Amino acid sequence: MTFELSDRVRTVPPSGIRRFFEIAEERDEVISLGVGEPDFATPWAARDAAITSLEQGKTSYTANRGKRELREAIADYVADRFELGYDPDEEILVTAGASEAVDLAFRAFVDPGDTVAIAQPSYISYEPGVIFAGGEVLPVPTREEDDFRLTVEGLEAAGAADADMLVLCYPNNPTGAIMPAEDLEPVAEFAREHDLTVLSDEIYAELTYDGEHTSIASFEGMRERTIVFNGFSKAHAMTGLRLGYALGPADAIGAMNKIHQYTMLSAPTTAQHAALEALDSCANEVQEMVDQYDRRRQFVLSRFREIGLDVFEAKGAFYCFPEVPEGFTAEEFAEEVLREQGVAVVPGDVFGDGGEGHLRISYATGLEDLRKALNRIEAFVEEHV
C-alpha cells in the first residue's frame, strides 16, 4: 500500500538545505557557517535547574499554558526588556519552541483561502506553515537598498493591502536586518488601515547590536491585532530544550491553546524549569554571548569587505548576508565553496524572494573557525572571480 499524501503535504517542496547537508557529510574538515543555532552551551544555572528538577522527579505535565511561575517570569521579562504588557493568566502561552507557537497561530487564524503576506527573505518555516493550514502565501520581498526593511511601498506593491495576515521576522533570519521604531511605525499603520492580523517573530530580539529592539505590538492599536513569538533557543542558547512562547490578546491565545492542549498538552516540563532559571539569573551570560556575537559580527563584516564581496550591514540575529560575486548563482557559489574549500554556507534564495544572489553566513561559531572559514572564502574568490 502507498500512502496518499494530502495536497497540503505534497505541495510543500523539500527543504533547500538538504542537498548541501549531504555534500557536507561526505567531506572532511568542513567549517560550517550554515548553522542557525548558538555555539554556546545553555548557561550553567539553567542546565542545573533542569537537572535539579529531574532529580526531584518533576516530570509530569504542567498546565497547558505552561507553569504559572514561568508565565509570570515571561510577563516580567517582556515588560522590562521590550515594554510589552501581557497577563500571565490569559495572554501568554508556553510552547515547544517558537516553532510550535508559529504553527499554532497559522492553524488558529488562517482559513483555507486566506492570504498570508510574508516579508521575505525570512525564516523557512512560515511558508509551509501557511500551506499546512490551507492558506495562501503572498511574498513581500524586501530589498537590500532598503536595508532589507519592510516598507509600505513594498507592502503595497506586493498587494498586501488585500491580505488577511502579515508575518514579520525582525531581527531577521537570514539577513540580520532589524526594524527600528521609525520604520516599524508606518508598517503598523498599514496593518491597522488594512485590518491585517500581524504575526511578529521576535526570537532574535535580544540579539540587537545597534540600539534597542522595538516590538510592533508596542505601537498604539497594534497589541490587539498582533501575536508576538519569542523563545529561549537563540539568546539563551537552548535550542534543544525546545521552549518558546506566544504573547497576544486573551481570545487569540485561548484559541491557540485550544489546539496546543490537544496536540502538545504542555511544553516540556524540564525545559520550563531551565527557562525559569534562565530568566531569573542568566542575564549576565546572555549579555556575554551578545557581546561575543557582536565582535564576531564586526569581524565577519569587515572580512567580507576586505575580500571584496558586498555585504549588508547586519545589525541583529547572528547572520550576515553577503552578495555572491558575478558569474555565480547563490546555489552554485554555496555548492562550490563547500566542495572546494569545505566551508558550508546557505544560499539566500532558500529564504524566499529577495534572498537571491546572497549567502546566509552564520557567525554562531568561534572566532578561530570564522577566521579560517573567511580565509578559505577569500582563497575561493581570488581563484574564481
Partner 1 sequence: MSEREVLELLRENARYSAADIARMTDLEEAEVEATIEELEAAGVVRGYQAVVDWDKLEDERVRAEVELNVTLDRETGYDDIAERLARFPQVKALRLISGDYDFDMEVEGDSIREVSQFISEKVAPVPEITQTVTHYVMTSYKENGIELGDGEGDDRLSFSP
Ligand X SMILES: Cc1ncc(COP(=O)(O)O)c(C=O)c1O
Q: What angle do CA 19, 365, 301 make, to 5 degrees?
A: 95
Q: Which residues of 333-346 are buried (b: 16+ CB within 10 A; e: fewer)?
A: bbbebbeebbbbbb
Task: Kindly state the smallest distance separating residue 243's Cβ from ligand X, in Å.
Answer: 7
Write each residue from 41 to 60 as x if it is in contact with partner 1 (CB under 8 A), else as -, in one continuous string: x-------------------
User: What cell numbers appear for 10 in the block?
Assistant: 505534497
For the bound state, the minimum distance from the C-beta of residue 217 to ligand X, rounded and expressed in Å, comes to 16
- Can residue 35 be called a binding residue for partner 1 (CB under 8 A)? yes
Q: How far apart are CA 182 and CA 192, in angstroms?
A: 16
Helix or strand run (H / E) with residue 46? helix 44-55
Provide, rounded to whole angstroms, the least separation between the CB of residue 368 and ligand X. Answer: 24
Q: Which stretch binds partner 1 (CB under 8 A): 22-30, 158-166, 189-197, 377-385?
A: 22-30
We find the least distance from the C-beta atom of residue 108 to ligand X, in angstroms, to be 17
Between residues 93 and 307, which has the closer beta carbon with respect to ligand X? Answer: 93
At its nearest, how many Å lie between ligand X and the CB of residue 117?
16
375 is a site residue for partner 1 (CB under 8 A) = no
CB of 14 to partner 1, least distance (A): 13
Binding partner 1 (rule: CB under 8 A), the pick from 11, 263, 302, 329 is: 302
Contact 66, 245 (CB under 8 A): yes
Q: Is 326 in the site for partner 1 (CB under 8 A)?
A: no
Inter-residue contact 160 to 148 (CB < 8 Å): no
Q: Look at residue 302 and give the partner it binds from partner 1, ligand X, none, a contact being a CB closer than 5 to 8 Å depending on partner kind.
A: partner 1
- What is the number of other CB atoms lying within 10 angstroms of the CB of residue 325? 16
Cell numbers describing residue 123 = 525564516
Among the candidate windows 53-61, 120-128, 143-151, 179-187, which touches partner 1 by CB under 8 A? 120-128
235 vs 346 by CB, closer to partner 1: 346
Q: Are strands 319-320 and 244-247 parallel, antiparallel or unpaired?
A: unpaired
- Comparing CB distances to partner 1, the nearer of 77 and 299 is 299
Q: Are strands 197-201 and 165-169 parallel, antiparallel or unpaired?
A: parallel
Does 368 bind partner 1 (CB under 8 A)? Our answer is: yes
290 near partner 1 (CB under 8 A)? no
Using the rule CB under 8 A, give the single segment among 27-35, 90-98, 146-154, 223-231 that binds partner 1. Answer: 27-35
Q: What is the DSSP string of 197-218?
A: EEEEE-TTTT-B-SS----GGG
Q: Choose from ligand X, partner 1, none: what does 303 bind? Cβ within 5-8 Å by kind.
A: partner 1
* Residue 362 near residue 318 (C-beta atoms within 8 A): yes
For residue 137, the surrounding DSSP H or E stretch is strand 136-141
Q: Which partner, ligand X, partner 1, none, binds residue 346 by CB below 5 to 8 Å per kind?
A: partner 1
Give which of partner 1, ligand X, none residue 265 binds (C-beta under 5 to 8 Å, depending on kind).
none
Of 180-239, binders to partner 1 (CB under 8 A) are: none
- 37 touching partner 1, by CB under 8 A: yes
Pairs from 80-83 (Cβ < 8 Å, separation ≥ 24)? 81/205, 81/206, 81/213, 82/202, 82/205, 82/213, 82/214, 82/215, 82/218, 83/215, 83/218
Whole-number CA gyration radius for the chain: 21
Which DSSP letter does residue 316 get? Answer: B
Binding site for ligand X (CB under 6 A): 36, 97-99, 123, 169, 173, 201, 203, 231, 233, 239, 244
Residues 124-153 within binding reach of partner 1 (CB under 8 A):
124-125
- Contacted entry of partner 1, ligand X, none for residue 169, CB cut-off 5 to 8 Å set by kind: ligand X
Query: Taking a C-beta distance cutoff of 8 angstroms, is the pair 118, 352 a contact?
Result: yes
- Among residues 170, 71, 62, 165, the alpha carbon closest in space to that of 115 is found at 165
Q: Which does residue 98 touch among ligand X, partner 1, none (CB within 5 to 8 A, set by kind)?
A: ligand X
DSSP secondary structure string for all residues of 248-283: --HHHHHHHHHHHHHHTSS--HHHHHHHHHHHHH-H
Name the residues that contact partner 1, by CB under 8 A.
Answer: 15, 17, 20-21, 24-25, 30, 32, 34-37, 39, 41, 123-125, 173, 295-296, 298-299, 302-303, 344, 346, 367-368, 371
